[in-house]
Amino acid sequence: MTPAPQVLVIAKSPVAGRSKTRLCPPCTPVQAAALAQAALRDTLAAVAATPGVGRRVLVLEGAPGAWIPDRFDVVAQRGEGLAERLANAFADCGGPSLLIGMDTPQLTPSLLVAGAHALRGGAPSVLGLAADGGYWAIGLQRPDAAVFDNIPMSADDTGAVQRARLDTLGLAPAMLPLLRDVDRIADAVAVAAAAPGTLFAHALRELGFAGIAEGRFAEERAA
């Protein structure tokens, strides 16, 4: 059995005008940054509470803040685009590693345990797809830049292309459950409703958005 994998969280420091900009409108940049910080704090708390993993690492763009829990190492992101930054995160931290983003505040330690267990049991890779066509988690036994080379990020088929690349490289992934990323306000409303006890859901309620029907935002986006 391989060593306990580390968990990497790749994230932006929550700063108004740079964080969760697709929530604007209806959010202001300050409100979007507040929601980003809440989502990041929920994510880091889930990682901190996950048993049986190795090092916990925040791979950060921007300045660290008081929202980082104890027992996290902080590594700066490197690279021009997200694909390059993902490859560099694995390279800088070594493997085996399970990497997640900050867009799924509904994340639970049990989901992370499942991904870590798959890697520790010898799965060549792990992948958790997102409902928008991307993915929320990827795990590798060792760094491999070819995994991310020319993968189109933030596209409707990012997850499918990434899974096909892993298969092509002989790294057929153990699959984690589908989750919904928080990209737009309709996503935020749906995720908060599904995980009402999170800091993210509390922040959304405090800002007055949680009671607005998700369908309204879907209709506005389609208009």
Cα–Cα–Cα angle for 92, 117, 178, rounded to 5 degrees: 85
Q: β-strand 173-179 against 125-130: which pairing, if any? A: parallel
Residue 155 in contact with residue 148, Cβ under 8 Å? no
Residue 161 sits at φ, ψ, to 5 deg, of: -65, -40
Q: β-strand 73-76 against 56-61: which pairing, if any? A: parallel
pLDDT in 10s for each residue of the chain, 223 residues: 567 999 999 999 999 999 999 999 999 999 999 999 999 999 999 999 999 999 999 999 999 999 999 999 999 999 999 999 999 999 999 989 999 999 999 999 999 999 999 999 999 999 999 999 999 999 999 999 999 999 999 899 999 999 999 999 999 999 999 999 999 999 999 999 999 999 999 999 999 886 664 445 444 444 4
The alpha carbon of 181 is separated from its chain's Cα centroid by a whole number of angstroms, namely 8
pTM of the model: 0.92
Q: Is residue 99 in some structural domain?
A: yes
Q: How far apart are CA 35 and CA 43, in angstroms?
A: 12
Q: Look at the chain and report how many structural domains it folds into.
A: 1
Q: What is the pLDDT of residue 217?
A: 46
Q: What is the pLDDT of residue 220?
A: 44
Integer distance in angstroms from the first to the last C-alpha of the chain? Answer: 53
> How many other β-carbons are positioned within 10 Å of the β-carbon of residue 17?
11
* Domain around 44: 6-180
Q: Is residue 111 in some structural domain?
A: yes
Q: Is residue 165 in some structural domain?
A: yes
Q: How far apart are CA 48 and CA 14, in angstroms?
A: 19
Q: What is the pLDDT of residue 119?
A: 97
Q: Which CATH number covers residue 99?
A: 3.90.550.10
Q: What is the pLDDT of residue 222?
A: 42
Q: What is the pLDDT of residue 3?
A: 77
**Residue 171's beta-bridge partner residues?**
none
The structure tokens 């590798």 sit at 140
Q: Is residue 216 in some structural domain?
A: no
Q: Is residue 117 in some structural domain?
A: yes
Q: Is residue 221 in some structural domain?
A: no
Q: Is residue 166 in some structural domain?
A: yes
- Where do the DSSP E strands lie in the chain? 6-12, 56-61, 73-76, 97-100, 125-130, 135-140, 173-179
Q: Is residue 219 in some structural domain?
A: no
